[in-house]
Structure 1
Amino acid sequence: MGARRAARAIDALRRGWPFRVIATEGALDLIAVESARDPALAAFDSHDVLISGERAVTLKLTNQRAAATPGPVRLSDAADSVAAALAIADPALDLAHPLKGPFRTVPTGGETAAAAAMTMARHAGLLPAFFVRAASGEAETEASADDVAALLDPARLEIAARARLPVEASESAEIVAFRSPEEASDHVALIIGKRDGQPPVVRLHSECLTGDVLGSLKCDCGPQLHAALHAMADAPWGVLLYLRQEGRGIGLVNKLRAYALQDQGYDTVDANLRLGFPVEARDFAIAGRMLELLGIPRIRLMTNNPEKVARLEKEGVAVIERIPLALPTNPHNEHYLATKRDRTGHQL
């Protein structure tokens, strides 16, 4: 029931309806700024706005000590309309509204509830910003911080279906789909070759519609995907884990917003932070669960990102070898790849 309550609250969030998040130290009533409408706000009776710590740092509303581990920030009486709140929350409007505030920050009214709300916004693919008030009266939709954690628990993931899938790299490949009860997005694994008792070559590939399907030159996702599949075909066997975590976990719409910010001169790291998200929001515990369900405890991981090695080992997967994946750059992704090398530790 807990995960279902969280799923219903996320649905309310996307629809612009009020919902409540409950935690031990305080409960909050919230409406997502991005999906809100002024009539709903008028009935909500609060002009306070809750934004993520990353967005607060961008707006210079928190000091550098707090910026090291930013938590949500509540702005008192900050916006009396959806348009005014969007000017605070959406960095696409920063150029049109460069002067913001002055703002007065106040206690959130519940740190755990506020943090859970930010997780819900990211999970819904919305900007992490809310109209907020202390919980009052009855709530039609509510969830606890524990409910949100239950929704995201990778242990809920199970194998839903599997089938033979001939692909360009291997005509004998098998595809396996994974599903959890309340999630709309299904993760998949593509198994290439036959088990031979040795650890397979494994690639964690996060969904990238623009790169994988449309051939975007802004990233290297599409070429990485195809190169990894062919490398697995040349190995005794391999497993591609295709994770439905677009835009490093912030969703397609927010990734496109980050692209627009990159066109203004921000790199991929700063674009995510200006949107109010962590630099890395993917959940690699999902990959650990998928490998567990496939009965694969030891792997040779194909990645340029040492953080993936650390995250998988934290989940109990033995990474016996890291295999680099080197590909040429193009004029559109040179800066992006340099940023991954210089700011996120990728070994290119």
Structure 2
Amino acid sequence: MPLSRVRLSDIAAAHRGTGGIAVDRATADFRRGEPLVVRDGDRAVLALAVEALSDERLARFVRLAGSSPSLAMTSRRASLLGLGSDGPGVVRVSLSGTPVAQRLRDLADPLSAPAIAPTVVAVTAARPLDADSAAVALAKIARLLPAAVTATIGLIDSRQVEDWARLEGLLIVEAAAILDYPVDTARRLAKVGEARVPLAGAENTRIIAFRPSDGGLEHIAIVIGTPDPSEPILARIHSECFTGDLLASLRCDCGDQLRGAIREIAQRGAGVLLYLAQEGRGIGLVNKLRAYQLQDEGFDTVDANLQLGFDADERIYVPAAEMLRQIGFDRVRLMTNNPLKVEALGHCGIAVVERVAHIFPSNDHNENYLRTKAVKSGHML
């Protein structure tokens, strides 16, 4: 059924019932370069991902909004442009006139070709739960650069907004739903597949797949041996790394940590490796490649993320805690060098009774990477 024939109040109800369907649809629209409506209470904002901007899409956006757009971006990215102080949160940058798409992308992307930036009229801090903050959060969920073009929709009430959006074929999504999405979907994991998969050096292994209720990316539990449910389980939390895990990249130590954890768990008898779908510390593969390019220009691994407008680490560990509970464990002996993982699991209700060091030799390509993790992220190497 075309969106123009769907009651948008029904879409909102669907979100409340399933914990993220509307956000999942909004994510797909953002990645395709489609505008959508983000609503926080009585205020509604038209939003479009900056990364997907073209002059044609921007012209349509301005026509729909009936006003010049603003640029919503993270405070971290804005501070690097001299548009405010560093810190968490989102700012709304008001611009003079209607800028072209390329100039907006220049502001959001540190790797964009140099161009004359539009004249900035004002920079305003967005409220933590408002539509501008949610639009930037949606860009992160979509694994795009964390910036969005926004414009307040000047209609009187929510019914007018719904009628207008229906006529224009625009999806409406609630700001609160976007901001709750990462944790909400992680709490709704369900087992969707399980099989015995013998591994080199760990033949007695089962792989269990968990899928969030919105149908998003699966997380994987690799259960080695037969862990005793009455004892803390030996566990490793490993965020996916396409370049390191699959291609044996020398820029990181991820591949060594993955294969080393499987070997060590097997040697110790039993345990679990939780493989989280959080590439690049939660920013996605494309943004990780952008961070690599910035590293080649002289930034370290932390500063490269900040240049892109992300936090140094965007991961959450609710999925790991939920998988542990579903396989029957609330106490772990955690294989990690990262004290934040220990703290995060504790906040999620999983007791870390022991930290097990998990260190591998460096090489000529990842020495600076490992040094930065120790100095700036507190890794115990």
Q: What TM-score range do you get, normalising by the shorter chain?
A: over 0.9
2: CA distance, partners of 1:16 / 1:101: 22
| Structure 1, unpaired ranges of 5+ | none
* Pair 1:48-2:80 in alignment: no
* Count of matched residue pairs: 343
* Pair 1:260-2:282 in alignment: no
Aligned-pair Cα RMSD in Å: 1.8
Amino acid at match of 1:68: G
| Aligned 8 A contact 1:72 1:108 in 2 | yes
Shift of 1:149: 4.0
Amino acid at match of 1:145: A
TM-score calculated relative to the size of structure 2: 0.86
Correspondence for 1:69 among 65, 69, 88: 88
Shift of 1:108: 6.1
Correspondence for 1:176 among 208, 224, 229: 208
1:1-348 alignment runs, 5 A limit? 1-2=14-15, 3-24=20-41, 26-45=43-62, 46-63=68-85, 67-77=86-96, 80-93=99-112, 96-97=114-115, 100=117, 102-107=119-124, 111-112=128-129, 113-136=131-154, 137=161, 138-139=164-165, 140-152=170-182, 153=184, 154-196=186-228, 197-348=230-381
Amino acid at match of 1:26: R
Structure 1 counterpart SS, 2:151: strand
TM-score calculated relative to the size of structure 1: 0.94
Shift of 1:68: 3.2
Shift of 1:146: 2.3
| Aligned 8 A contact 1:297 1:317 in 2 | yes
Shift of 1:11: 1.1
Amino acid at match of 1:61: L
| Aligned 8 A contact 2:234 2:265 in 1 | yes
| Aligned 8 A contact 1:27 1:109 in 2 | no
| Aligned 8 A contact 2:218 2:277 in 1 | yes
Which string of whole-angstrom CA distances, capped at 9 and with x for unpartnered residues, describes residues 158-188 of structure 1?
Answer: 1111110100121110000000132331100
| Structure 2, unpaired ranges of 5+ | 1-13, 63-67, 155-160
Amino acid at match of 1:24: G
Compare 301-310 and 164-173 and name the one that shifted more. Answer: 164-173
| Aligned 8 A contact 2:40 2:174 in 1 | yes
Amino acid at match of 1:325: H
Identity %: 41
1: CA distance, partners of 2:172 / 2:96: 24
Structure 2 counterpart SS, 1:146: helix
Shift of 1:234: 1.2
2: CA distance, partners of 1:265 / 1:239: 37
Which string of whole-angstrom CA distances, capped at 9 and with x for unpartnered residues, describes residues 129-148 of structure 1?
Answer: 11110024522111112222
Give the equivalent residue in structure 1 for 2:8. none
